[in-house]
Amino acid sequence: KQSIMKRVPCVALVIENMKGEVLLLLRDDKPTIAFPNCWTLVGGKVEDGETPEMAAHRELQEETGLKADLLFWKRYDRQHPPMIVDQHIYTGKVDASKESLVLGEGQAIQFFKPHDIKQLKIGFEFDLLLKEYFVTRSG
């Protein structure tokens, strides 16, 4: 009998500054977490009673201290055994300096230029997502 993998709604945010750089968060160096020491987009699980949009705003503030107008970009399923992540992606622009960022979780948060992102270890296949984002953005 096939077990149905649980779908877990999650959000991730592509936050851009005025220089066209994208905000990434460096995950903790813990062997117990997925993609330790990898860069990832700001985001997380949608809590009970939250809409994905509410979760996106909450995660942004918790992890970076920022507030932004967020636009829904896309939604897709990401295989993340033993579950399927129902991934909601939001985009936003902020006029924020590195100094105004407040690190709420992980080891670091930093804005990166598109070509610098290619050199980083990115978790959760978000490198593919960012590649697509930069193509659509410049198109």
> What tokens does 57 get?
């705003």
Q: How many other CB atoms are there within 10 angstroms of residue 106's CB atom?
A: 18
Q: Identify how many contiguous H helices and E strands the chain contains and give both numbers.
A: 3, 7
> What pLDDT score was predicted for residue 57?
98
> What pLDDT score was predicted for residue 31?
93
Per-residue pLDDT of the chain (139 residues; tens, 9 = 90+): 566 889 999 999 999 999 999 999 999 999 999 999 999 999 999 999 999 999 999 999 999 999 999 999 999 999 888 899 999 999 999 999 888 899 999 999 999 999 999 999 999 999 999 999 999 886 5
Q: How far apart are the first and last CA of the chain?
A: 46
- Asked if 68 and 90 count as a contact pair (C-beta separation under 8 A), the reply is no
Give 116's contacts (C-beta < 8 A, 6+ positions apart). Answer: none
Q: Where are the alpha helices (DSSP H) in 28-125?
A: 52-64, 114-117
User: Phi and psi dihedrals of 16, rounded to 5?
Assistant: -115, 145
Q: How many other CB atoms are there within 10 angstroms of residue 18's CB atom?
A: 11
Cα–Cα distance measured from residue 25 to residue 98, given in angstroms and rounded to the nearest whole number:
12
